[in-house]
């Protein structure tokens, strides 16, 4: 009786073990299928994350340059041009430091779209800012660095603080002031946004007291009249009152 009971228990344990093995196999199979799906999706997500990371890194470099823009007027007249140029495919500006270490002091930066082998690259190049620079034409841009490269097109647009409510335009035509903000869109083949556009507000909105004929500063306002650029003597006296009779002039 006892033996018969033990045999039944042994038989039940065998069935139980087979059932567990079958269930385990089923679960393992499901897990393998699930893990395969997860790994494929993860790989796709990782590729997508890498693309976004690459875009983010490139856009961060653009943002750094645009935020560091300097307001430099190239003449003595308040209507003279500011050292800035913007088109739909490129932007050129003066910055405090071009970040290359190739030369000290301020520099010029050009960020432009270049096409090669079916891919569009957003390339940054820089040049030294030499005194007397009147524009970007004569600058020797070098130190090319590819910020973004891929099946995208890049489009800059500019916000004019003096141009009403919808001040965004594809090219910067004003010469005597700088845009309030710059937008960079990365577009895919279908013309859609590859990611939300980068909008950078330019931090510096004036050349300040250093700008000729500005009256931003209290003392300048008291002492400086709007100068006639041809009237050097008046301008000189205003800028350097101590010059007269200070004994340093030959």
Partner 1 sequence: MARSSDGYVTLAVLLVVGLLAAIVSSILAISRPALGLARLGGDEVAAEALLDGGLTTAAFLLFGAKQDPAKVNKLALHLHTGDANLTVADEAGRVDLNNADPRLLEGLYSAVGGNSLSAQAFASRVVDWRDSDSDLNQAGAEASDYNEAGLGYGPSNLPFHSVDEAHFILGLSSRDFTKLQPFLTVFSGTGKIDLLAASPTVLRAIPGMSREQLQQVQQARRAGQDRAKIAERIPEAAEFLLDKSSGVFRVNVEVKLKDGYADAAEAVIIAPQAEGSAEYRTVAWSKLAAPAPSQ
**Residues making contact with partner 1 (CB under 8 A):** 9-10, 13, 16-17, 20-21, 23-24, 27-28, 31, 34-35, 38-39, 42, 45-46, 49, 52-53, 56, 64, 67-68, 70-73, 75-76, 96, 104-106, 130-132, 203-212, 215-220, 232, 235-236, 239-243, 246, 248-250
Backbone angles phi, psi at 200, to 5 degrees: -115, 125
8 Å CB contact between 15 and 23: no
Backbone angles phi, psi at 219, to 5 degrees: -70, -35
8 Å CB contact between 116 and 122: no
- Alpha-carbon distance of 228 to 154, in angstroms, equals 42
DSSP 8-state code for residue 102: S
Using CA of residue 182, residue 186, residue 191, residue 195, what is the dihedral sign? negative
8 Å CB contact between 120 and 101: no
H or E stretch covering 200:
strand 198-201
Tokens of 147: 């910020």
Q: 3-state DSSP call for residue 234?
A: helix
- Alpha-carbon distance of 1 to 5, in angstroms, equals 6
**Min separation Cβ 89 and partner 1, Å:** 27
Tokens 């290359």 belong to 100
Tokens of 3: 């033996």
8 Å CB contact between 81 and 73: yes
């Amino acid at each position: 009786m006892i033996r018969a009971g033990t045999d039944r228990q042994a038989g039940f344990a065998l069935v139980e073990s087979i059932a567990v093995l079958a269930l385990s196999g089923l679960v393992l199979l499901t897990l393998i299928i699930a893990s395969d799906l997860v790994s494929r999706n993860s790989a796709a997500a990782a590729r997508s994350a890498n693309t976004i990371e690459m875009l983010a890194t490139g856009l961060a470099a653009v943002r750094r340059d645009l935020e560091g823009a300097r307001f430099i007027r190239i003449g003595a007249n308040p209507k003279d041009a500011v050292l800035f140029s913007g088109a739909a495919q490129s932007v050129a500006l003066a910055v405090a430091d071009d970040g290359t270490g190739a030369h000290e002091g301020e520099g010029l930066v050009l960020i432009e779209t270049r096409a090669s082998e079916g891919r569009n690259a957003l390339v940054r190049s820089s040049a030294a800012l030499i005194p007397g620079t009147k524009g970007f034409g004569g600058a020797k841009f070098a130190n090319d660095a590819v910020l973004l490269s891929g099946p995208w097109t890049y489009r800059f647009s500019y916000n004019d603080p003096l141009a009403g409510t919808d001040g965004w335009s594809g090219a910067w035509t004003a010469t005597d002031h700088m845009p309030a903000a710059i937008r960079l869109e990365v577009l895919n083949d279908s013309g859609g946004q590859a990611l939300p556009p980068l909008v950078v507000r330019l931090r510096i909105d004036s050349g300040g007291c250093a700008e000729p004929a500005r009256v931003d500063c209290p003392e300048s306002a008291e002492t400086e009249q709007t100068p006639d650029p041809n009237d050097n003597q008046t301008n000189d006296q205003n800028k350097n009152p101590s010059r007269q009779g200070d004994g340093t002039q030959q």
